């Protein structure tokens, strides 16, 4: 039996933390190891508890979730950060992605969506619903490139290092598909997809799947075709 997913809950509202705890601890494969009400406490708790995943609110008094995410990703990279955000995905959430968060979880998400997001981030998938992925690409991509007037002229295309199969996997990642969906699309096993995803991220120098998706759209690897689940 594998170890349960250990989670640190970070939100300045105690009732929200209590609600999340009740939902998550009802699952056999999830355990809440601690709680924090602000960014500084979140960093300290991560240092002492080493959770698999930090469920991070953004707007908190004192040190906010963006600064806390940046510190945790830098100092404790084994702990992934899943950001709590509003439906509109405001600039604070964008900042968290730049800081290294591994995904978004909407605060009004349904129970099954929250659990699925936690498990997805833990296994290395990006926790992004298709509609969220589209808004992320529309708003975060340009902000990430703000300092680069002509990125294609300054940086070689890193996808040239990919094999044909790795490029196929990269394309499916860019479309927002999970490992299971990629495996089905390419008629291979999930373990094979996982291996290819790791190689793709390494060759592209991408921190995680979210940044690989953003890179794919910057390079024009995918166009404006609908993402899975969009019509």
Take residue 209 and report the two structure tokens written for it: 């799947």
For the purposes of burial, counting CB atoms within 10 Å of the CB of 2, is it exposed (0-12), middle (13-18) or buried (19 or more)?
Answer: exposed
At 149 the pLDDT is 41
User: Mind listing the pLDDT tens digit of every residue in the chain (231 residues)?
Assistant: 678 999 999 999 999 999 999 999 999 999 999 999 999 999 999 999 999 999 999 888 889 899 999 999 999 989 999 988 765 555 666 677 778 888 877 777 788 888 988 988 888 776 665 555 556 666 555 555 554 444 444 456 788 889 999 999 998 888 778 888 899 999 999 889 989 998 998 898 887 787 787 788 777 776 554 444 443
Q: Residues with Cβ < 8 Å from 147, sequence gap 6 or more? A: none
At 53 the pLDDT is 96
Domains of the chain (ranges plus CATH)?
5-127 (3.40.50.2300), 140-218 (3.40.50.2300)
| Paired residues of 75 in beta bridges | none
Cα dist. 59→56, 66, 129 in Å?
9, 8, 22
Evaluated on CA atoms 101, 102, 104, 110, the torsion sign reads negative
pTM for the structure as a whole: 0.72
**In this structure, are residues 95 and 119 in contact, taking their beta carbons and an 8 Å threshold?**
no
At 222 the pLDDT is 65
For residue 10, give the 3-state DSSP assignment: strand
């Amino acid at each position: 039996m594998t170890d349960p997913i250990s989670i640190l809950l970070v939100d300045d509202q105690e009732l929200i933390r209590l609600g999340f705890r009740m939902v998550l601890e009802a699952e056999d494969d999830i355990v809440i190891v601690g709680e924090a009400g602000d960014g500084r406490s979140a960093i300290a708790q991560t240092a002492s508890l080493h959770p698999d995943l930090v469920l991070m609110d953004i707007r908190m008094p004192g040190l906010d979730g963006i600064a806390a995410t940046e510190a945790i990703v830098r100092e404790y990279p084994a702990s992934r950060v899943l950001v709590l955000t509003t439906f509109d995905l405001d600039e604070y959430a964008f900042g968290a992605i730049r800081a290294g968060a591994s995904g978004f979880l909407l605060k009004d998400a349904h129970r099954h969506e929250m659990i699925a997001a936690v498990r997805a981030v833990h296994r290395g998938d990006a926790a992004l619903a298709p509609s969220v992925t589209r808004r992320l690409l529309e708003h975060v991509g340009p902000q990430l490139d703000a300092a680069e007037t002509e990125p294609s002229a300054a940086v070689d295309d890193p996808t040239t290092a990919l094999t044909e199969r790795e490029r196929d996997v990269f394309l499916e990642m860019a479309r927002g598909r999970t490992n299971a969906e990629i495996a089905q699309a390419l008629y291979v096993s999930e373990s094979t997809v996982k291996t290819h995803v790791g190689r793709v991220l390494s060759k592209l120098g991408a921190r995680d799947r979210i940044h690989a998706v953003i890179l794919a759209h910057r390079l024009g690897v995918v166009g404006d075709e609908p993402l899975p689940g969009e019509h």
